[in-house]
Amino acid sequence: MSERVSVIGAGSFGTALSKVFAENGHQTVLWARDAETAKKITEAHRHPRYLTTVQLPAGLKATSDLAMAVKDATVLVCAVPSHAVRETFQQVGQVLGPETFILSATKGIENDSLMTMAQVLENVTPPQAHARLAYLSGPSFAAELTRRVPTAVTIASTNPDTAKRMQHMVSNDYFRAYTTDDVMGVELAGALKNVVAIGVGCAEGLGFGYNARAAMITRGLAEMARLGMKMGANPMTFAGLAGVGDLMLTCFGELSRNRSVGFQLGQGKKLEEILKNLGMVAEGVKTAKSAWDLARREGVDMPLAQAAYQILYDGRAPRDIVYELMGRALRKELDH
């Protein structure tokens, strides 16, 4: 059945998802904050800034009018950066239809509140809408998705009917979705893997090779699972697509923004310069602060999250941090 889908956020992943929905036969609108961007997408069927070589479906429309994008949609897809979710969806909530579903594809933890994106969306939408909230996560580079490279993700919702509906809407011969009810696990995994990827990128930039990177990925996954279990998540989620799947992609993939940030930090470049040249959001930079604050709040041992915070926010040298980590007190691997 064809739905009316509005993708809120015209970054690379929002653009890629809008292409998926349009190719799946849904009436799709892409909301861009910039009016000129929206105009070029509608007229030329190409994004002027992201994925510029990708031909977008002729039926895909774009708008910079948020109220218009939301008004008639049966499904809204949240694809704005994590720091913009609260403000954007507070506006969305004012015109949200009583039967509209929301599928969030944003990964992050809000800095001040330490809320996951699921918690933020529940906070800014009416209680009657919560059963229609779902969350998409997993290893899915936007550039590969637009090339129809086989991709698998997971969709989480507390309502199995909502998860199943979103699953069938997005799935096709190159994009396969699984479902789960572990919203907290999927949300934490999707956010925290970006922080680990910055650390792994640092190790690569320092020239440490595969041994160090494999160790950091494994111990990073252990930290993610520890925090997840403390906050009520299913530990098996971290062994799935939203966990180890996305973690491997983000830590090793050449297209990973967070790995790139870490790699350049390891080479000695300054964060301000890296982010200026990146031209896109690397969610792990903001999430590193949230992750370390959340670890302290919950009393969970997360030395790699602390290390990422110190490199990004205290200006510590990555090489010094690595050897401090190696010099920590010896312990059993499964102490936690």
- The whole-chain average pLDDT of the chain stands at 95
User: Under 8 Å CB-to-CB from 270, ≥6 apart: which residues?
Assistant: none
Strand order from edge to edge, sheet including 75-78: 61-63, 27-31, 4-8, 75-78, 101-104, 133-137, 151-156, 175-180
pLDDT at 16: 97
User: Under 8 Å CB-to-CB from 189, ≥6 apart: which residues?
Assistant: 137, 224, 228, 237, 238, 242, 243, 246, 247
Give the pLDDT confidence of 195-225 residue by residue, as tens digits. 999 999 999 999 999 999 999 999 999 999 9
Give the pLDDT confidence of 109-165 residue by residue, as tens digits. 999 999 999 999 999 999 999 999 999 999 999 999 999 999 999 999 999 999 999
Contact between residue 187 and residue 117 where contact means Cβ atoms under 8 Å apart = yes
Count of other CB atoms within 10 angstroms of residue 215? 15
Class level of CATH domain 191-326: mainly alpha
Q: At what angle do helices 257-266 and 283-298 cross, to 10 degrees?
A: 90
DSSP class of residue 95? T
Domain segments of the chain as ranges: 4-181, 191-326
Residues labelled as active-site residues: 193
Q: Token pair for residue 287?
A: 């999430």
CA 293 from chain centre, in angstroms, equals: 19
pLDDT at 281 exceeding the cut of 80 = no
For the chain, give the number of residues. Answer: 336
Fold of 4-181: Rossmann fold (3.40.50)
Q: At what angle do helices 209-230 and 303-313 cross, to 10 degrees?
A: 110
pLDDT at 336: 63
Whole-number percent of the chain with pLDDT over 70: 99
125: enclosing H helix or E strand: none
Which of 21-35, 271-285, 307-321 has the weakest average pLDDT? Answer: 271-285
The pairing of strands 151-156 and 133-137 is antiparallel
pLDDT at 334: 84
Count of other CB atoms within 10 angstroms of residue 145? 23
How far is the CA of 300 from the CAs of 222, 227, 281, 330, in angstroms?
Answer: 11, 6, 27, 18
pLDDT at 244: 97
CA proximity to 62, closest of 43, 38, 46, 92: 38
How far is the CA of 320 from the CAs of 201, 207, 267, 310, 315, in angstroms?
Answer: 15, 14, 13, 11, 11
Give the pLDDT confidence of 17-44 residue by residue, as tens digits. 999 999 999 999 999 999 999 999 999 9
